[in-house]
Structure 1
Amino acid sequence: MLQNLEADFPAHSPRPAQAPHALEGMRVIDFSHFIAGPFATMILADMGAEVIKIEAPQRGDDFRQYPPVHPDIGQGAPFLWSNRNKRSVALDLKSAEGLRIARELIATADVVVENFSTGVMERLGLDYASCRHGNPALVYCSVSAYGREGAFADRLGFDPIAQAESGFMSMNGYPDREGVRALSPVMDIGTAMMAANAILGALLARARTGQGQAVEVALFDSAVLMTGYATLQHVFSGEEPRRHGNTSPDTCPSGAFRARDRSFYINCGSNKIFQRLMAQVLERPDLAEHPDYASGAARSARREELFAILDEAFAKEPWTHWQARMRVAGVPCGLVRTVGEAVRSPEARERKLLTRIPHDRLGWVPNLALPIRYSATPLADPVPAPTVGQHTREVLGAVLGYGADRLDACAAAGAFGPAPLAREAAPS
C-alpha cells in the first residue's frame, strides 16, 4: 500500500514562510462527520483557520473506516482526503465533564459546524440558541439532510439518496435503462462548498455588524441545485430531462469518440467551434458551411449521421494527431481517462494537484489540493488527518489553559471516554 508514492508524485512545495493566511486567527469547533461537514471545515482549515475536530473517544468519525484503510494508522484514504489540517479532540458528549469541556471550547470559537441528526445538539444543550448566549459573535453552521425545521427534519440523508430524490439520477445514463448515480459523492462535495461559502459570508457580515448568526445548508437543497439549469428548462417546457449518455441535449457534436488508439471527448458548444472542427481539424470546409449543420438544433436533428462522419474520420489517426490539431484550432477536447491516469497526467502535475506530504508513521501520504489559488494568502501547507483524540491534551492545554492535573481529572471523570488518555506533557 502506497509503495509507488515517491516515484509517482512530487513532494508538496511549501508556501512562503511569512505569507499570512486568509482565515488566520479564526477558530472552528467541528462536530461534523462523514463528508459534507468535514469537507467544509477542511476548506476553512486550508484557508488557515484553526479547526478542532470533536470526535467520539476511540471510535471517532465513522468515516475513518471507509476503505482502503491503512493498517498502520487505522484510517482510510477517504478520511485523509477530507480531514487534513485539523486537530482531533476526543470527548464523550454523553458525560457531564465532556459536555462541559465542549461548551468551554465553543465559548472560544468563531465558528461551530455540526451535522448530527436533527435534535441531537438541542438535547446536548449545544444548539445555537444555547451557544449564542455566551458567544453572541458565534457563526453556527448546521448541515442537515432536509432542513432543521418542517415535516422532513427528522429524515436522515446520504449522498446517493439526495441524487435519487433531487432528480439528478434521472438525468444520467442511457435512455434504455434506469438513471445512474454518480459514484463520486457530488452532493456531499457540493453541500460542503455551499456550507463553506455560507460560513465565509456570515464571517464577513459579522465583521460589519459584530454579530454572529445561525447558518443552515441542506443536502437535498444542494442536490436540487446540482441538477443545473434542467430545473428551469423543465418549468419552461413542461418536459422532463432525458438521458443522453455521453452526448448533450444542448450542443452537437458533443460526446466521446474513438481515435485509432484512445477514446476522447469533444464539446462543440457553439457554431464557430463546430466550423473550426470541420474546416481546420478534419479539413472538411464543405461540411463546416453546409446548411444542414448550420445550427445546434440542425446538427442535433442529424446527430447520427454527423457522428458517423466523425467516427470514420477520427479512427484513421491516433489521439496525439487529433489533439494537436484541435488545440491549434481551439476545439475543446480531452482524453477519456481513468482516475489513475488523471492524477498522473501532465495537467495534474502542472497544477500540482496531487502531491505527497510527510507523515510521522508512514513517511509519506498522498494529498489532493483544493482548486483555490491565492496570490497574497496562499493556502496552508497540508498536514495529514489526525488520529482519534491525537490533540486532546494539547488543545485543552493551549486553548483552555488546562494543566496536567486537571487533564487527568477530566480523564478520570470520563470526559475522554472509558480509557484515560496516556499522560503527556501539557502547559500548566
Structure 2
Amino acid sequence: MPEQKKPMPLSGYTILDLSVMTAGPVGTMLLGDLGADVIKVEEPARGDLARDLGNQFVNGESVQFMSQNRNKRSLRLDLKSAQGKAVFLRLAKTADVIVENFRPGTVDRLGIGYDAVRAINPQIIYASASAFGQSGPYAAWPANDPIVQAVAGLMDMTGEAGGLPVRLGAPLPDFGAAAMMALGITTALLHRQRTGEGQRIDTSLLGAALFSTIPRDGETIRSGKAPSRLGSGHPTMVPYRNYEGSDGKYFFAACFTEKFWTNLCRVLDRTDLLSDPRFINNTQRTANRHLIDAILEDIFATQPAAHWVKTLSKADVPCAAVQDYHTALTTDPQIRHTGAVLHLEHPVAGPMTNLANPLNLHGTPVQMRRPPPVLGQHSEEVLREHGFSGSEIDALLSKGVVKGSRMDDVDQDLVAPAVAG
C-alpha cells in the first residue's frame, strides 16, 4: 500500500479570495501554501489588476501576478450581475473564509459583504484588508503601499542625511498586512473550531506599517522629535551602518551591544577607543557618531570589503557584504541553502521561480501544489465541485456570467502539481 501523506494544516478549508494586487493575494498565498483550497474569484474581462501590472510578461502572463498567486485556482465571475452575485453566495454558503481588499464599502454595494454572507453562513470568517482601515477620514482614499509609507512616516525616516524622503525598496506595508491577515484568519479558524463562532476580521497597510516601526514609536513620542534620516545608520546605536572598503564595495557592521563594540576595537587593534570617554558607552558613541565613523572609515578604506567581512565575522562582529538583489536570489550560499527560491512549471509561462513561504513546519511542511493560475483556468472545475450541474454551468458560460480559461488551448497535462526545486 502506498504511503499516506499527512494532511496539511489547512487541508479541507475553502477560501474565496476576492483580493487583488499584493496584500490580499500574498496573504491568501500563505494560506494556500499551508493546504487551504484558495479559489481566486476574478473579474471576467481582465482578472486581478496585477495581471496587467509591471513591464515583464511571459506569453502574456504577468511576472508580478505570478509571484504572489501560487496554490490557487481561478474562477472568472461577474459579481456585478445578479446571477454572478447568486453564484458567489452559493459558493459562500459552504466556504470557510472570504478575503477581500477593495475600498471599504465595495463588497456591501455588490451585495456580498459580511452581513449578506453571514445571513446564509453564520460560521463564515470574513477578512478585509485595506489601505487605511474600514472607517475614518482616509478610508475612501485611493492608495497603495507607497502612499501608506508616506502617511505612516516610513518614507520621511528613510534616506540619506540631508537628503529627500525615500520610498522603501520593497512593499513592506503590503507584506505586513498580508502576514497579519493570514495570522488573523488562522486564529479565527481556531476560535471557530473551539466555539463554533465565525467573525469579521480587518487589517490595514497603515496598521501594519506603524506596527513595523517598533521601537521607533517609543523613542519618538518620548523625545518629541521625528527620527532623522541617517542613510544606513541607526538613531540609537553606533557604530551601525554601511562602510566602504578600498575596492568601493560596501559592507554593513552592527555593534548593537558592548560585546560587539569591544570585539570590533580588538580586531582592529584599536583598544584605545574602549577607554576613550567620547566612546565609553553607546550613548556617548551616538552623540559622537561623526567622530567614530570618521575613524572607522579611514581604517576600512585600507582593505577590500570582503576582507573586512571575513575579518570581522571571525572576530564575532555582526557584518555582511551589501549585495544586490539579483546576487542574493541567484548565488548567495545561505539563501540557496535555505531553499528560498522555488522552481515551478507554469502552464503558459513555462519554467518560473517563486519565493518560498518562510514558515517552516517540520511536521507538516508547506507544499507548492499548484503554479499561479491562468485567468479562469478552474472556472468549470470549481463550479462542478460545488454542486453546479452541467446545464447550469453551460448557461452561466453562455451568458458571460462565468468565463473559462483565457487560453482555450492550455495543455492541461502541464497543469500538474508543481514540485519545489
Name the counterpart of 1:366.
353
Instruction: Give the TM-score, by structure 2 length.
Output: 0.91
- Structure 1 residue 219: deviation in Å? 2.0
Mapped contact 2:251–2:309 kept (Cα < 8 A)? no
Partner SS for 2:187 = helix
**Considering only aligned residues, what root-mean-square deviation do their CA atoms show, in Å?**
2.2
Residues in 2 aligned to 1:65 and 1:382: alpha-carbon distance in whole angstroms = 24
Say if 2:263 and 2:315, in contact at 8 Å, map to a contact too: yes
Distance, in Å, in 2 between the alignment partners of 1:209 and 1:407 is 36
Question: Which contiguous aligned blocks of 4+ residues in structure 1 show a shift greater than 4 angstroms?
Answer: 417-425
Q: Distance in 2 between matches of 1:17 and 1:307?
A: 60
List gaps (5 residues or longer) in structure 2: 413-421
Q: Give the alignment partner of residue 352 of structure 1, picking from 331, 339, 343.
A: 339
Quick one: which amino acid aligns to residue 147 of structure 1? G
Give the match for residue 88 of structure 1. Answer: 74
Distance 1:420 1:308 in 2: 60
Q: CA separation in 2, counterparts of 1:377 and 1:229?
A: 34
In the TM superposition, residue 413 of structure 1 has moved relative to its aligned partner by 2.9
Tell me which amino acid in the other structure corresponds to 1:185.
P
AA of the residue aligned to 2:153: G
What number of residue pairs does the alignment pair up?
Answer: 407
Give the alignment of 1:395-410 within 5 angstroms.
395-398=382-385, 400-410=386-396
Q: For each residue in 1:178-236, what CA deviation from the matched residue of structure 2 results, as whole angstroms up to 9, or x when unmatched? A: 31111311111111111111111111111111110000112222222233222222221
Alignment partner, residue 79 of structure 1: 65
Alpha-carbon deviation of 1:17? 7.3
Q: Deviations over 1:86-120 (max 9, x none)?
A: 00000011222211111111111110001112222
From 305, 309, 313, give the equivalent of 2:295: 309
1:388-399 superposed matches below 5 A: 388-398=375-385
Tell me the CA shift for residue 421 of structure 1. 9.5
SS in 1 for 2:80: coil
Residue 213 of structure 2 aligns with which residue?
Answer: 227
Q: Which residue identity is paired with 1:366?
A: T
Conserved? CA contact 2:374–2:405, under 8 Å: no
Q: Provide the rounded CA distance (Å) in 2 between the counterparts of 1:408 and 1:420.
A: 17
Alignment CA distance shift 1:355-1:150 (3 Å): closer
1:349-379 Cα offsets, whole Å, 9 max, x none, are 0111113112233431111112111111100
- Structure 2 residue 281 is matched with structure 1 residue 286: no
In 1, are the aligned partners of 2:15 and 2:99 still within 8 Å (CA)? yes
Q: Which residue of 2 aligns with 1:198?
A: 184
2:316 corresponds to: 330
**Corresponding position of 1:12:** none
What's the offset of the Cα at 1:292? Answer: 2.8
CA distance in 2, matches of 1:83, 1:314: 44
**CA displacement 1:382-414 (0-9 Å, x = unmatched):** 53211111100011112x122332211111233
In the alignment, the residues of structure 2 paired with residue 55 and residue 169 of structure 1 have an alpha-carbon distance, to the nearest angstrom, of 32
> Residue 416 of structure 2 aligns with which residue?
none
Q: Percent identity?
A: 37
Conservation of the 8 A alpha-carbon contact between 2:379 and 2:403: no
The residue that corresponds to 2:98 in the other structure is 112
Distance 1:331 1:418, change over 3 A: closer
Question: Which ranges in structure 1 are unaligned for 5 or more consecutive residues?
Answer: 1-15
Q: Distance in 1 between matches of 2:156 and 2:67?
A: 29
Name 1:163's counterpart in structure 2.
149
Distance of 2:138 and 2:310 partners within structure 1: 53
